[in-house]
Structure 1
Amino acid sequence: MDLSDAYANAAHIPGAADFPSRWSEEAEAFRAELAETGRFRSLAYGPGAREALDLFLPEGEAKGLVVFVHGGYWLRFDRSVWSHFAAGPLAQGWAVAMPSYDLCPDVRIADITRQVAVAVSRAAEEVAGPIHLTGHSAGGHLVARMLAPALLPEAVAARIKRVVPISPLSDLRPLMQTDMNEGLRLDAAEAEAESPIFQPAPQVPVTVWVGAAERPVFLDQARWLGEAWGCEVVIDEGLHHFDVIDGLVEADSPLCRAVTGA
């Protein structure tokens, strides 16, 4: 069975082509504003050109660190597109880190998982206190993977207090039946090993967030993770795969409060 259309988001969202350019423009303006006040800087976490993260700092001492990991099916985008989604946690007093990572097919998904673990650890060196993880789509998969045993250094793992995967991919096996797999190169062994539903249920509080107007497979993916981990699944009414993250811009939105635990 070909599941390519089932996992195609843009084809089923009106005006989908306009979202990336709008995100990029808003992100660039946000970075420029914070750079003027010295509250934005970029840090390397590895030797590669994409092994870097942006760190946004609140006014005053940070309550802790939120790490946002972007999506794009592990095939596209980088940290520069999403900066403005740090606005909500920042307004609540949290520092926010946003890493880039290498993309498939240059690397495999397992490699990206390891890169993100290093990025989280690097960001943790810069900001004291609790660490909350959130990510969208493939980024939701990646932050869920951070809860796998022994993936993060013990000292960093102990600081993780809340995880909010947004529209996550929790079972990667169906993606082998999409045309994306030409770039992802998933085989059965990697698909299972990289699927969060097969990890032990974490002790950290997890809230899975998904838009009610998303493709049915993304509602399934959210439900599967909730069932596997016994965690809360929030279905955000009226939102699709591209606007489900909009709540991160507003400090008092339900999504932002879920991320920060406010």
Structure 2
Amino acid sequence: MTYVAYSTQFDLALLSLYLFYGFFIVLIMYLRNEDRREGFPLVHEVNGQLQVINPRSAPKPKVWNLAHGGPTVAGREERMLDGLLTPPARTPGSPALPLGNPLADGVGPAAYALRADVPDLTYDAALPKIVPLRVATEYSIAEEDFDPRGWYMVTADGRTVGTVRDVWVDRSDVLLRYIEVAVQGGDERAVVLPIGVANFDTRKKEAQTSALLADQFLAAPRLANPDQITLLEEDKVSAYFAGGYMYATPNRQEPAL
């Protein structure tokens, strides 16, 4: 009988390899469990029945201590869209069409998430991050750039809906984020729109947007506080103007060819 020494069959290199195998298996199991925080458990598109993949479909709730929202449990609250969209067809992946005004209802490209209704804060001073220049007096528009304040605001149908009252700056990224427009009709609360959906004509002294028509622009979401914008309001405003590129006119929803 041949005697084989254990030490000649198992050494430190082999131990390291087995430890790596075990670590990698645990890592894969952990990642597969964590990626189920969003979108699980599954709900059937047509009948709405819950589809349980396995008993470990969803991990235990994770809590984050946010500076601007306090303790937050993973998994954002979903909006209730009953009565706003048509039931989807029996074919999986079929779209649900809006039943009313998709811009006002916030569906499709105009959909928004239920973010915290508090302003985002700067890291150091814990001040509202996005504010108008009249509040962030330490910031100003560079002399070599144009200042749109006082310019007319013109919508996609060529109508003038007001004048640019102020521009909003991001204190953290030092960028202009929004334009504030004093609308016609004596409304004290102005309309705030993302600066990315506007074009500026320096010759005509106009700020122009092709996202919305005049009536839709005047019905845009307003801010509760005229000097700050919350995370929820950011989502609503951005979604409203982005949705206009599809819903502003009926022909925008049709094929190009």
For normalisation by structure 1, the TM-score amounts to 0.23
For normalisation by structure 2, the TM-score amounts to 0.23
Q: Could you say which structure has the larger radius of gyration?
A: 2
